[in-house]
A and B are shown apart, each in its own frame.
Chain A
């Protein structure tokens, strides 16, 4: 087996970067589709009010789509925020703290959004 530690450690080729690149695009396409689907329903004839708005999100298929989009948004924002911290925050300790705060922030937001969605 090839040596993969110390000065011989292979630091490229794990495709972490490719995975993030792909995730960023797939989640973006999902969020764009969601935006269009929501826009079409909002623009349907009929006065905008609570009944119409809540009606849009209470359909089971819309709930599932919104659920997928919430997860996509969190994942997408994580990749983007991680890029920002990696580029601009060089002290490792501070960067780790910011990344943890980012994750807590995002997971907290996702929990709240899902709670809103599922009690509808």
Chain B
């Protein structure tokens, strides 16, 4: 099957959660050096901590702060979606909750829960409260 054919499928929510589980994992894998850079600058010294904080107010080199925040927001979503989807898997394995209805309900909780938390943390990140 070729990709254009695969895209013809109408996917249930559980399938979308599954694909986003992979996509979010891939994203975090790709951005791992950025996360460790944040860990490094925030922990190494007070001077580097200032650099860490400045990344979100003035940016990193030629990268503007707003882009740094958007990348951080993407990471926050990826982490939350991955966490929710992972807990969903463990819950399904542990309690054998594998009916179609349970899959649908838990998929909604995963998608909505991670998005709501992302919006809340994103609002904090962008200084809305």
Q: Which A residues lie at the B interface, using CB under 8 A?
A: 25, 28-29, 32, 35, 49-50, 53-54, 57, 77, 80-81, 84, 102, 105-106, 109, 112-113, 116-117, 119-120
Partner of A29, one of B39, B40, B44, B90: B90
Known: A25-B93, A53-B49, A77-B29. A116 touches B83 (CB 8 A): no
Between A and B, how many residue pairs show CB distances below 8 Å? 56
Residues of the A chain whose Cβ atoms lie less than 8 Å from the Cβ of B86:
28, 32
Given the complex of chains A and B, what is the CA–CA distance between A81 and B39 in angstroms? 23
Does any Cβ of A come within 8 Å of B112's Cβ? no
User: How many of chain B's residues have a CB under 8 angstroms from any CB in A?
Assistant: 22
User: Could you list 18 further interchain pairs (A-B, Cβ under 8 angstroms) beyond the known A32-B87, A105-B29, A116-B39?
Assistant: A25-B89, A25-B90, A25-B93, A28-B90, A29-B90, A35-B83, A50-B42, A50-B49, A77-B32, A84-B25, A106-B29, A109-B36, A112-B33, A112-B40, A116-B40, A116-B43, A116-B44, A119-B44
* Cross-chain contact A120 with B43 (CB below 8 angstroms): yes
Partner of A113, one of B26, B28, B36, B93: B36
Does any Cβ of A come within 8 Å of B22's Cβ? yes
